[in-house]
Chain A
Amino acid sequence: TQLLEQSPQFLSIQEGENLTVYCNSSSVFSSLQWYRQEPGEGPVLLVTVVTGGEVKKLKRLTFQFGDARKDSSLHITAAQPGDTGLYLCAGEGNAGGTSYGKLTFGQGTILTVHP
Chain B
Amino acid sequence: NAGVMQNPRHLVRRRGQEARLRCSPMKGHSHVYWYRQLPEEGLKFMVYLQKENIIDESGMPKERFSAEFPKEGPSILRIQQVVRGDSAAYFCASSPLRLLGYNEQFFGPGTRLTVL
Contact = CB atoms under 8 A, between A and B. Distances in A.
Contacts of B65: none
With a 10 A CB-CB cut-off, give which of B31, B58, B105, B112 has the most chain A CB atoms. Answer: B105
**A interface, by DSSP: helix, strand, loop or mixed?**
strand
Interface bracket on A: 20 to 34
B42 A48 contact: no
Contact of A48 (B4, B45, B102, B110): B102
Interface bracket on B: 20 to 34
B18 interface: no
Interface in A70-89: 88
Given A105-B43, A107-B42, A43 B104 contact: no
Contacts of A101: 31, 33, 48, 55-56, 103
Interface in B94-116: 101-110, 112
A106 to B, nearest CB: 7
A4 B31 CA distance: 23
B91 interface: yes
A41 B6 CA distance: 11
Interface in A28-50: 30-31, 33, 35, 40-45, 48, 50
B59 interface: yes
A42 B56 contact: no
A94 B4 CA distance: 25
Contact of B103 (A31, A40, A107): A31
B109 A41 contact: yes
Given A92-B103, A102-B56, A103-B33, 5 more contacts: A42-B6, A45-B106, A50-B101, A102-B48, A103-B93
Interface of A: 30-31, 33, 35, 40-45, 48, 50, 88, 90, 92, 98, 101-108
Interface of B: 4, 6, 31, 33, 35, 42-45, 48, 55-56, 58-59, 91, 93, 101-110, 112
